[in-house]
Amino acid sequence: MNELDLAWEEEERPRHRRRASSAPARKKKKGRGGRTFLAFFISLLVIGGLAFGAYAGVDRVKDLFAAPDYNGGGTGEVTVEVKSGQTSLEIAQTLLDAGVIKSTKAFVEAAKKNEERSKKIQPGFYKLRKQMRAADALTTLADPKNKVVDRVTIQEGLTMKATFELLSKETGIKVEEFNAAAKDPIALGVPDFWFNRTDGKPANKTVEGFLFPDTYEFGPGETATTILKKMVAHFLSVVQELDLVNIAQGKELMPFSALINASLVQGEAGTIADMPKVARVIYNRLNKKPPMNLEFDSTTNYWRELQGQPRKHNLTTAELTDPNNPYRTYGQAGLPPGPICSPGKEALNAALNPTPGEKWLYFVLIDKDKNSAFTDDYNQHLRNIETAKKNGAY
Closest C-alpha to 141, from 86, 193, 68: 86
Q: What's the rounded mean pLDDT across residues 274-282?
A: 98
Q: Could you report the per-residue pLDDT of 141-194, keeping only the tens digit for each?
A: 999 888 888 899 999 999 999 999 999 999 999 999 999 999 999 999 999 999
Q: How far, in Å, CA of 35 to CA of 33, rounded?
A: 5
Closest C-alpha to 360, from 248, 287, 277, 237: 277
| 20 band by pLDDT with thresholds 50, 70 and 90 | very low
Q: Check: CB of residue 161 under 8 Å from CB of residue 306.
A: yes
Measured in whole angstroms, how far is the alpha carbon of residue 298 from the centre of its chain? 33
Give per-residue burial for 138-167: e unless 16+ CB within 10 Å, then b.
Answer: bebbbeeeebeebebebebbbbbbebbebb
Sign (positive or negative) of CA dihedral 49, 50, 51, 52: positive
| 25 band by pLDDT with thresholds 50, 70 and 90 | very low
3-state secondary structure at position 151: strand
Query: Strand 150-153 relative to strand 215-218: parallel, antiparallel, unpaired?
Result: antiparallel
Specify the DSSP class assigned to residue 376: S
Q: What's the rounded mean pLDDT across residues 374-385?
A: 98
pTM, 2 dp: 0.74
User: Using alpha carbons only, what angle is made at residue 339 by residues 337 and 340, rounded to the nearest 5 degrees?
Assistant: 105
**354 upstream amide cis, omega within 30 of 0:** no
Tell whether the model's pLDDT for residue 62 goes beyond 90: no
Instruction: Report in angstroms the alpha-carbon separations of 375 from 279, 350, 380.
Output: 14, 18, 7
